[in-house]
Structure 1
Amino acid sequence: MNLKQLADHLKLSPTTVSRALNGYPEVSEKTRNRVLAAAEANHYHPSHHATRLAKGKAHVIAHVVPLSVHTMINPHFSDFIAGAGLTYAKAGYDMILRVVMESEEEAVYRSFAKDGRVDGVIVHGPRVGDTRIALLQDLGLPFVVHGRTMADDADYSWLDVNNFRAFERATNFLLDLGHQKIALVNGFEDMVFAARRRDGYLKALKDAGIPIDPEIMFSSEMVEPQGYQALKKVLKQAKAPTAILLSSILPALGAVRAIHEAGLVPGKDVSLVVFDDQLSFLQNSGDIPMFTSLRSSIHDAGTRVAEMLLSKINQPDSGFCHELWEAEFVLGSSTARPPQA
Structure 2
Amino acid sequence: MNLKQLSALLELSQTTVSRALNGYPEVSEQTRKRVLEAAQRHGYKPNSNARKLATGRAGSIGYVLPVGRNVDLDPHFVEFLSGLGEHALVREVDLSLTPASYERESEAYRRIAASRSVDGVYLSSMRNDDQRIGLMKKLGIPFLAHGRALQPAEGYAFVDIDNEGAFHDAARLLLQLGHRRLAYVNGDTDFAFAVHRLNGVERAMARYGVPLESLQHHSAAMNEENGYRIAMTLFRDTQPAQRPTGVLSASMFTTLGMVRAFNQLGLRMPDDVSIITHDDVFPFLKPESFSVPLTTTRSSIRAAGARICERLVDIISGVETEPVQEIWPVDLIVRASTGPVPTVRRPVRGRAAEPAE
Task: Give the TM-score category using the shorter length.
Answer: 0.7 to 0.9
**TM-score where L is the length of structure 2:** 0.77
Show the counterpart of 2:340. Answer: 337
Task: Tell me the C-alpha RMSD between the 2 structures.
Answer: 2.3
1:206 Cα offset (Å): 2.5
Match of 1:79 in 2: 79
- Change in 2 beyond 3 A, CA 1:69/1:218: farther
Correspondence for 1:256 among 256, 259, 277: 259
The 8 Å contact of residues 278 and 284 in structure 1, kept in 2 or not, is answered as: no
Residue 178 (structure 2) pairs with residue 178 (structure 1): yes
- Matched residue of 1:312: which SS? helix
User: How far apart are residue 227 of structure 1 and its match?
Assistant: 1.2
Q: For 1:188-203, list aligned pairs within 5 A.
A: 188-203=188-203
Deviation at 1:67, TM superposition (A): 4.3
1:159–1:323 contact (8 Å) kept in structure 2: yes
Aligned to 2:123, the other structure's residue is in SS state: strand
1:266 to 265, 269, 282: 269
How far 1:234 moved relative to its partner? 0.6
Aligned residues, how many?
294
Q: Match of 1:313?
A: 316
Higher gyration radius (CA): 1
Question: Which residue identity lines up with residue 162 of structure 2 in the other structure?
Answer: N
The alpha carbon displacement at 1:158 in A equals 0.3
Q: Percent identity?
A: 33
Query: What does the per-residue CA deviation read over 1:135-176, in whole Å, with 9 as the maximum and x for residues that have no partner?
Result: 101111011000011268611110001101111111111011
Q: Secondary structure at the match of 1:309?
A: helix
Q: Which residue of 1 aligns with 2:64?
A: 64
Q: Distance in 1 between matches of 2:118 and 2:330?
A: 32
* Cα offsets for 1:164-212 (capped at 9, x unmatched): 1111111111011000111001110010001111111122222322223
Give the conservation status (yes or no) of the 8 Å contact 2:129–2:151: no
Q: Which runs of 5+ in 2 are unaligned?
A: 1-46, 345-357
Structure 2 SS opposite 1:272: strand
Q: Is the 8 A contact 1:65 1:72 kept in 2?
A: no
1:324 corresponds to: 327
* Structure 1 segments (4+ residues) deviating >6 Å: none
1:205-224 Cα distance to aligned partner (Å, 9 max, x none): 22322223478211111111
Supply the distance in 2 between the matched residues of 1:197 and 1:72 (Cα, whole angstroms): 22
Q: Encode CA deviations 1:48-90: one digit per residue, 9 max, x unaligned.
A: 5697257401111111123478536311110001100111122
Distance, in Å, in 2 between the alignment partners of 1:317 and 1:159 is 14
The answer for the alignment partner of 1:4 in structure 2 is: none
Decide whether the 8 Å contact of 2:127 with 2:150 is kept in 1. no
Asked if 1:298 corresponds to 2:298, the answer is no
Classify 1:53/1:281 alpha carbon distance in 2 versus 1 (closer, same or farther; 3 Å).
farther
Secondary structure of the residue aligned to 1:282 is coil
What residue in structure 1 maps to residue 355 of structure 2? Answer: none
1:98 matched to which residue of 2? 98
Q: Secondary structure at the match of 1:99?
A: strand
Q: Which residues of 2 match residues 118-197 of structure 1 at below 5 A?
A: 118-150=118-150, 154-197=154-197
Describe the shift of the 1:317–1:179 C-alpha distance in structure 2 as closer, same or farther (beyond 3 A): closer
Please tell me the residue identity of whatever aligns with 1:57. R
Q: CA 1:101–1:200 in structure 2 vs 1: closer, same or farther (change >3 Å)?
A: same
User: Residue by residue, what CA displacement relative to the aligned partner does 1:253-283 show, whole Å, maximum 9, x if unpaired?
Assistant: 1111111111111222110001112113222
Note if 1:222 corresponds to 2:225.
no
SS at match of 2:136: helix
Change (3 A) 1:107 1:50: farther
CA distance in 2, matches of 1:130, 1:310: 23
CA distance in 2, matches of 1:68, 1:178: 45
Task: State the SS of the aligned residue for 1:332.
Answer: coil
